[in-house]
Amino acid sequence: MRLVTYLHHGMTGVGLTDAGATRIRPLDQVDGTPISDMLMLIREGIATATPSVMRPTLTWAEVALLPPIQRPPRDLICVGKNYRKHAHEFADSGFDTDNGPAVPEHPVVFSKSAGAVIGAGESIVYPEGLSDALDYEAELAVVIGRSGRRIPRAQAFSHVFGYTIVNDVTARDWQQRHGQWFLGKSFDTFCPIGPVLVTADELDPSALAICCWVNGELRQNANTRDLIFDIPTLIETISAGMTLQPGDIIATGTPAGVGAGFKPPRFLRRGDEVAIEIEGIGRLVNDVF
Ligand code: MG
């Protein structure tokens, strides 16, 4: 299923959408109660939802799309340097404070504030007076459906609810200056996500094209088959000591082509538009305001 969370006449709803991203069928619980919270749907299971017979089908044009999970239950779990070419461009950029090898031997895991989440079409607020090194990072995100600890690789996918798109927006100067990455990646509006969440039964995430354009210029053009640490490895590693919970979001890392990787760097400016596409999921577009 291709799921979205949307706002229509002041009411939040969860619905099914088509691959062409044109129409939305509202979802109800089996007793006819409208579903308004993706997190509840994830916790209770997709089998508890049914297309509404009472409410009409909507078009994308008549709703505002919201983050698929409006308020993630906790901060996003993010993976750094998970594509070889990007690991090298970041090591060469001067913004990496890590003295270790450019390509990590173990997954680099950090967090990003859930409070930074915004939806498709919302603006990334330019951090005027704070940063002049605003950057984009296109990423495939994994949404956890079933809780688990010490999840072995072979069972990893049985804990996945689905997949969506994240733009891991970063203030590079803050990332560098403050040593730990959390602050520079957690400014308000620094986490565009969605708009579509594709359930795991409908998508094999192992070889998906992932692209990012700034003002229509292709900057990132890669494939998830080039992840250094694949999704089962990430789930096994992260869950080894920490219980993964329904609604947890794992951003799997960005490929080469970020602004910091250019010489000189090509950071975002006010008025820019960032568009990310992942094959089989959809397109996430946000402007910088
Ligand atoms: Mg990232």
Digit-coded pLDDT (tens) for 238-289: 999 999 999 999 999 999 999 999 999 999 999 999 999 999 999 999 999 9
On whether both 135 and 205 belong to a single domain, the answer is yes
On whether both 26 and 151 belong to a single domain, the answer is no
Distance 249 CA to ligand 1 centre (A): 13
On whether both 284 and 154 belong to a single domain, the answer is yes
Final residue of a domain: which of 20, 43, 66?
Answer: 66
Distance 159 CA to ligand 1 centre (A): 22
Final residue of a domain: which of 18, 34, 66?
Answer: 66
Distance 34 CA to ligand 1 centre (A): 35
Q: Tell whether the model's pLDDT for residue 140 goes beyond 80.
A: yes
Averaged over 97-120, what is the pLDDT? 93
Identify whether 92 is part of a domain: yes
Per-residue confidence band for 22, with pLDDT thresholds at 50, 70 and 90: very high
Distance 81 CA to ligand 1 centre (A): 8
Q: What is the predicted pLDDT for the residue at 136?
A: 98
Q: What is the predicted pLDDT for the residue at 2?
A: 98
Q: Tell whether the model's pLDDT for residue 213 goes beyond 90.
A: yes
Distance 172 CA to ligand 1 centre (A): 11
Identify whether 146 is part of a domain: yes
Q: What is the predicted pLDDT for the residue at 192?
A: 98
Identify whether 140 is part of a domain: yes
Distance 184 CA to ligand 1 centre (A): 11
Per-residue confidence band for 97, with pLDDT thresholds at 50, 70 and 90: confident
Q: Tell whether the model's pLDDT for residue 42 goes beyond 80.
A: yes
Q: List the beta bridge partners of residue 164.
A: 141
Distance 253 CA to ligand 1 centre (A): 5
How confident is the model over 141-195, as pLDDT tens digits?
A: 999 999 999 999 999 999 999 999 999 999 999 999 998 999 999 999 999 999 9
Q: What is the predicted pLDDT for the residue at 130?
A: 97
Q: What is the predicted pLDDT for the residue at 99?
A: 76
**Which residues have C-beta within 8 Å of that of residue 182, sequence separation ≥ 6?**
110, 111, 112, 113
Total structural domains in the chain? 2
On whether both 59 and 94 belong to a single domain, the answer is no
Distance 287 CA to ligand 1 centre (A): 18
On whether both 86 and 152 belong to a single domain, the answer is yes
Distance 169 CA to ligand 1 centre (A): 8
On whether both 164 and 221 belong to a single domain, the answer is yes
Is 156 or 101 the better-scoring residue by pLDDT?
156
**The CATH number of the domain where 81 resides is what?**
3.90.850.10
Final residue of a domain: which of 66, 93, 112?
Answer: 66
On whether both 48 and 80 belong to a single domain, the answer is no
Token couple for 254: 């960005």
Q: What is the predicted pLDDT for the residue at 111?
A: 98
On whether both 82 and 123 belong to a single domain, the answer is yes
Per-residue confidence band for 209, with pLDDT thresholds at 50, 70 and 90: very high
Identify whether 115 is part of a domain: yes
Q: What is the predicted pLDDT for the residue at 102?
A: 87
Distance 170 CA to ligand 1 centre (A): 8
Distance 15 CA to ligand 1 centre (A): 28
The domain in which residue 83 lies consists of: 76-288
Q: What is the predicted pLDDT for the residue at 267?
A: 98
Q: What is the predicted pLDDT for the residue at 281?
A: 98
Distance 254 CA to ligand 1 centre (A): 5
Distance 216 CA to ligand 1 centre (A): 21
Identify whether 71 is part of a domain: no
On whether both 140 and 187 belong to a single domain, the answer is yes
On whether both 41 and 126 belong to a single domain, the answer is no
Distance 251 CA to ligand 1 centre (A): 7
Mean pLDDT of the chain: 96
On whether both 136 and 192 belong to a single domain, the answer is yes
Give dist(CA 198, CA 141) in Å, integer: 11
On whether both 93 and 202 belong to a single domain, the answer is yes
